[in-house]
Amino acid sequence: MSDDKNLKKDELFSDEEILDHDYDGIKELNNGMPFWLTWLFVGSIMFGIIYYIHYTSESAETIAQSYENSLAEHTAKMESKRAAVSVEDMIQELNTPEAIAEGNQVFTTRCAACHGQAGEGGIGPNLVDKYWIHGDGSLAEVVKVVEHGVTEKGMPAWGQVMGMKDVITVSYYIESIKGTNPPNQKEAQGNLIE
């Protein structure tokens, strides 16, 4: 009975469609590649040729140039946004108890390692007395010192790292801890500012 089925299968195909090799009774049909796969192959080759010509011509923008142009465009956009919001406006807007609480978190994360958990000082000067080494202790001066740092004394410029919002909130927090007299306060340094 199985021989009858095999004969019927063999009869379905002409001799040109069946290849002449045989492996364990399995015969292979001479099928061509599907039409869609042929065009996908041809399309890939055409794309490769166009891509090669485009990126090897001198007028084409390289990937590095594309990156540099995108970066310059993004930087210009960010600078225009930053210029639209002035530091003075941000200082006025962030004069809230919530901003001081945010500043406390930023201080604990970024500043406490050098200035102590309560601003009592450590490697850096204490921030709770009326003596200031850099600037006059006003909010604007504190913002300036935090933003630009004092590299010759080892304080990094935090403006680019934290962003202006965090710089201002941590400055408000520093203003709020003036005169708190925490334990283990480092000796006064700098000029007395009344």
What's the pLDDT tens digit per position in 32-48?
788 999 999 999 999 99
Closest by CA to 124, choosing from 111, 135, 115, is: 115
Q: Write the pLDDT tens digit of every residue in 131-145.
A: 888 888 888 888 888
Residue 174 lies in a domain: yes
Residue 27 lies in a domain: no
Statement to judge: residues 132 and 77 lie in one domain: no
Among 84, 100, 115, residue at a domain's last position: 84
The residue ranges of DSSP E strands in the chain, in sequence order, are 18-23, 26-29, 131-132, 191-192
Angle at the Cα of 144 (from 193 to 172), degrees rounded to 5?
70
Q: Write the pLDDT tens digit of every residue in 81-120.
A: 766 666 676 777 777 888 889 989 999 999 989 898 988 9
Statement to judge: residues 66 and 145 lie in one domain: no
Residue 14 lies in a domain: no
pTM of the model: 0.56
Q: Distance between CA atoms of 191 and 186, rounded to whole angstroms?
A: 15
* Predicted local distance difference test score (pLDDT) of residue 191: 81
Range of the domain at 80: 35-84
Q: Write the pLDDT tens digit of every residue in 149-189.
A: 888 888 898 988 888 888 888 888 888 888 888 888 888 88
| Total tally of structural domains belonging to the chain | 2
Residue 179 lies in a domain: yes
